[in-house]
């Protein structure tokens, strides 16, 4: 029996405990009203993912909000694929990338330099662009929208994107903070459904319903969102119970980095021999995945073959 060499091993090291947050995303809608929403609570997963990266706390806060945002938006995918956000600016955080698959698998990468201890999203990101990408797989064309960074918070930037690029009314609040139990992150997202989406009511009533939903959503506090004694259903009914709210089936979230040895090995195979020798330390080459911060070790002699 021929043993598969480590160089071609497609498996990856265990990045985190096998943790799945079963009720990470709770979709809901309002009966006979043109409003739907999603409540996101990442639970212990937020602390596990954020603490794997050596970044300042304000960077973790921004990353936690980003993870919550892409998790909530991915719940709208009707196909196998992923929803990703990429932010690039000239501030201390020069690059921020996060994505979530239709199965709720999350990952992120943040590149920072001289990051202050405390700062707004606008201060951290500076001027640049904000891009969402929907990827349905290798044989389909990606859908991407790009807008300039506008707003003081990540919530403001996301709402500006949907208003400008998609002409779609969305109300978004993102939460992330360090608690006694570790980092917590979550979100509340509301969308106004157009008439062609199946809800046909008068325009005046639509606007009143939408404004009411946004006002009620704005009463949500981080203390309520992160309170383990409040279930997602209880929290949603507390917020929107007067609007005939209906709870849909919850969706799970988990860490979902897609790195593996074979993919990184194919990257190494493109380097000249001299470069590989330079990268080797005592006969070993180590490559780190920027998303999950897992190190993969390759034997230099094995790569040469």
Average pLDDT of the chain to the nearest whole number = 86
Q: What is the pLDDT of residue 4?
A: 46
The tokens describing 86, both together, are 């990429």
Burial class (CB in 10 A: 0-12, 13-18, 19+), 94: middle
State the average pLDDT over residues 92-118: 89
Count the Cβ atoms, other than its own, within 10 Å of residue 148. 13
Look at 96-105, 138-147, 150-159, 214-223 and tell me which has the smallest mean pLDDT. 138-147
Task: Say yes or no to pLDDT of 108 above 90.
Answer: yes
Q: What is the pLDDT of residue 222?
A: 96
Taking only the tens place, the pLDDT of each residue in 175-225 is 999 999 899 999 999 999 875 444 545 677 788 899 999 999 999 999 999
Q: What is the pLDDT of residue 215?
A: 97
Going by C-alpha positions, the residue among 38, 83, 2, 13 that lies closest to residue 245 is: 38
Task: Say yes or no to pLDDT of 17 above 60.
Answer: no
State the average pLDDT over residues 40-59: 93
Look at 102-116, 191-205, 249-263 and tell me which has the smallest mean pLDDT. 191-205
Which secondary-structure segment (H or E) carries 23? strand 20-30
Task: Say yes or no to pLDDT of 272 above 80.
Answer: yes
Going by C-alpha positions, the residue among 166, 123, 172, 126 that lies closest to residue 146 is: 166
Give the C-alpha separation, 54 to 278, whole Å.
Answer: 26
At residue 76 the predicted structure's pLDDT band, cuts being 50, 70 and 90, is confident
- Highest mean pLDDT among 18-32, 172-186, 264-278 belongs to 172-186
Look at 91-100, 155-164, 183-192, 260-269 and tell me which has the smallest mean pLDDT. 260-269
Q: What is the pLDDT of residue 295?
A: 67
pTM of this prediction exceeds 0.85: no
Task: Say yes or no to pLDDT of 45 above 90.
Answer: yes
Q: What are the domain boundaries of the chain?
A: 23-194+206-255, 259-304
Task: Say yes or no to pLDDT of 2 above 60.
Answer: no
Topology classification of domain 259-304: CBS domain Like (3.90.1280)
* CATH C-level class of 23-194+206-255: alpha beta
Q: Are 265 and 303 in contact (CB under 8 A)?
A: yes
């Amino acid at each position: 029996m021929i043993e598969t060499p480590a160089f071609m091993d497609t498996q990856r090291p265990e990045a985190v405990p096998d943790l799945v947050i079963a009720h990470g995303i709770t979709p809901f809608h309002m009966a006979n009203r043109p409003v739907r929403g999603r409540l996101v609570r990442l639970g212990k997963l937020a602390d596990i993912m954020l603490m794997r990266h050596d970044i300042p706390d304000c960077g973790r806060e921004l990353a936690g909000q980003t993870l919550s945002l892409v998790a909530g938006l991915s719940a709208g995918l009707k196909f196998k694929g992923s929803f990703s956000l990429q932010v690039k600016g000239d501030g201390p955080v020069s690059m921020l990338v996060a994505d979530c698959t239709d199965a709720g698998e999350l990952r992120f990468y943040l590149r920072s330099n001289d990051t202050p201890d405390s700062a707004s999203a606008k201060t951290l990101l500076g001027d640049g662009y904000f891009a969402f990408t929907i990827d349905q797989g290798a044989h389909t064309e990606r859908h991407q929208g790009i807008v300039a960074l506008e707003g003081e918070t990540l919530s403001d930037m996301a709402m500006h994107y949907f208003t400008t690029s998609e002409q779609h009314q969305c109300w978004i609040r993102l939460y992330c903070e360090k608690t006694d139990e570790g980092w917590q992150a979550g979100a509340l997202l509301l969308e106004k459904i157009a008439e062609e989406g199946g809800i046909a009511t008068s325009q005046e009533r639509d606007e009143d319903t939408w404004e009411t939903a946004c006002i009620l959503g704005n009463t949500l506090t981080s203390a309520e969102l992160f309170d383990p004694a409040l279930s997602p259903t209880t929290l949603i009914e507390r917020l929107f119970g007067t609007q005939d709210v209906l709870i849909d089936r919850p969706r799970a979230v988990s860490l979902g980095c897609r790195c593996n040895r074979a993919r990184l090995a194919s990257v190494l195979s493109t380097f000249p021999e001299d470069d590989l020798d330079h990268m080797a330390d005592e006969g070993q080459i180590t490559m780190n995945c920027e998303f999950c911060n897992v190190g993969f070790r390759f034997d230099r002699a094995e790569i040469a073959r």
